[in-house]
Amino acid sequence: MTKNCRMGLNWIEARRVAKQTILHFSPAIDQNLLEDIVQDSMERALMKLAQFDNTKGSFNAWVARLAKNVFIDYTRKNGKYVFINQEFANLIEDDNDYFEIEEREVAVLFAMKKLKERDKNLIKMRHFENLSFEEIGHLTGIPEKSVPVYIMRARKELKKYFLELQISSAA
């Protein structure tokens, strides 16, 4: 373990990154399941530590990619909608709570749903998780210098869908 400490590996920070990564892909995930997936991600990171190459990126970016892969494995095994927690499901089903949400926020959510998966993820990573272009590049495999261009295009698409929703709701 001292070798890992000398390498500058921070397992506590890596656990936080793994948790954020999973929450990025499923914000309404059940907390117990979230902890299980984070734990599996950390176990996988520990087992594959010898494969980590710090010349290709940061330890945290590597752990985030592992966490994403573990989450995808869980999704494939258990189905797409297993991860929604009961409180979130109740909120969606209750019309009264639904109408309390600002109309603008609802329009943005609907516009986000129309985006391609890649564009949706890019906007979430940059604007909700405040990840740097470098971190986004490591997580997505997009070259760092190209990330801002991809994000700009995703924003344009989001704006287009948002404006379409605003026009259709005004009519």
* Residue 101 pLDDT: 41
Answer for the pair 33, 70: CB distance below 8 angstroms, yes or no: no
Of residues 88, 96, 72, 78, the one with CA closest to residue 30:
88
Which domains are delineated in the chain? 1-100 (1.10.1740), 102-171 (1.10.10.10)
* Residue 107 pLDDT: 66
CA gap 153, 117 in Å, rounded: 13
Of residues 71, 143, 59, the one with CA closest to residue 151:
143
* Cα distances (Å, whole numbers) of residue 12 to 42, 57, 127: 10, 18, 24
pLDDT digits (tens, 9 = 90+) for 84-125: 444 444 444 444 443 334 455 566 777 788 889 999 889 888
pLDDT digits (tens, 9 = 90+) for 24-83: 777 667 778 889 999 999 999 999 998 888 787 788 888 888 888 888 888 777 755 444
* Residue 145 pLDDT: 93
Answer for the pair 106, 168: CB distance below 8 angstroms, yes or no: no
Answer for the pair 18, 74: CB distance below 8 angstroms, yes or no: no
Is residue 144 pLDDT above 50, yes or no?
A: yes
Answer for the pair 140, 24: CB distance below 8 angstroms, yes or no: no
Q: Indicate the SS3 state at residue 29.
A: strand
